[in-house]
Amino acid sequence: MEHILKTEGLTKVYSRTKVVNDVSLCIREGDIYGFVGKNGAGKTTFIRLVLGLARQTKGSISLFDGQAPRKARRRIGSLVESPAFYPNMTAKENIRMLCHIIGEDEKQADAILEQVGLSDTGRKKAGNFSLGMKQRLGIGLALVGDPDFLILDEPINGLDPTGIAEIRRLILKLKNEQGKTILISSHLISELEKIATRYGIIANGKMVEELTAEELDEKCGNKTALKTSDSDKAKEILQKRLSGGAIEQSPDGVLYIGEKIDDIGRLTNALYQEGVTVQSVSSSENTAEAYFIEKMEGG
């Protein structure tokens, strides 16, 4: 599978401060990559380096398995920080203007407007759009030239729930129907969790962790911890009685069940009937949001 973006040791120093600090990251073809971090973590600076809008202090950037940077960046569409458009023009005029500037066919404007849900805006000036409409216009401008890779910097920041849902549906449509690879930077974890296939967590300019959506699911969710008089026997009994999550055994003998047990009394009684005493029991729920916050704070 093609590597759309790969960085190794990417670093950017401003006034002796490492805003991006030794970041190694890999985005594969077909990913919706959630780039997660608090405001000021270095997400936008990283994006600017990838797009060639700033020059790295050290490290490397590889696009489309090492394609020449100038040619590769023509295959990228981007929305960085906030949409840039002419407020006194309509949505269609803005898209046609960008087509003209970069040498693309202006006839694609109607199709792009249809894609982003702005085909019915008519003569309304873009400066009078709602925030959600402006964000969709920004994505529409990023789609000029039919890029293979989209980079969207905080595309849902400041939107109301309806606007967020519209952008989410649009992103999924671009991925599922057109095969776009998409990098989305955001600190709104609950929304990224609904669409991302892989994640990169950045804190204080450093990459803390990369993981897939499946790996995140494994790290989160409901768990029950049991400490018993005979952990090996207890594990054997539980594996026969429970059909849900996996059971892990720690070196100190604590059993971790990958699900929350609603009727813990019946379970402890069943163990007791088999000669195993339950010494302690606890349940916990580790949400994706809690997991990301812990990583971002600890970075």
* Each residue's pLDDT tens digit, 219-260: 776 677 888 999 888 888 888 877 656 788 888 888 878 766
Question: Between residues 265 and 178, which one has the greater pLDDT?
Answer: 178
Q: Which of 3-17, 55-69, 141-155, 275-289 has the lowest mean pLDDT?
A: 275-289
Q: How far apart are CA 97 and CA 107, in angstroms?
A: 11
Q: Residue 35 corresponds to which amino acid? A: F
Q: What is the pLDDT of residues 38-94, one digit of tens each?
A: 888 999 999 999 999 999 999 999 999 999 999 999 999 999 988 899 999 999 999
pLDDT of 136 reads 92
pLDDT of 153 reads 93
In the chain the first and final C-alpha atoms are separated, in Å, by: 30
How many residues can be counted in the chain? 299
Confidence of residue 114 (pLDDT cuts 50, 70, 90): very high
Domains of the chain: 3-212 (3.40.50.300), 220-291 (3.30.70.270)
pLDDT of 286 reads 67
Closest CA to 230 of 161, 296, 276, 299: 276
Q: What is the DSSP string of 220-238?
A: SEEEEEEEES-HHHHHHHH
Q: What is the DSSP string of 229-281?
A: S-HHHHHHHHHHH--SS-EEE-TTS-EEESS--S-HHHHHHHHHHTT--EEEE
Strand pairing category for 17-28 and 3-14: antiparallel
Q: Which of 19-23, 109-113, 244-248 has the lowest mean pLDDT?
A: 244-248
Single pTM value for the model = 0.79
pLDDT of 54 reads 95
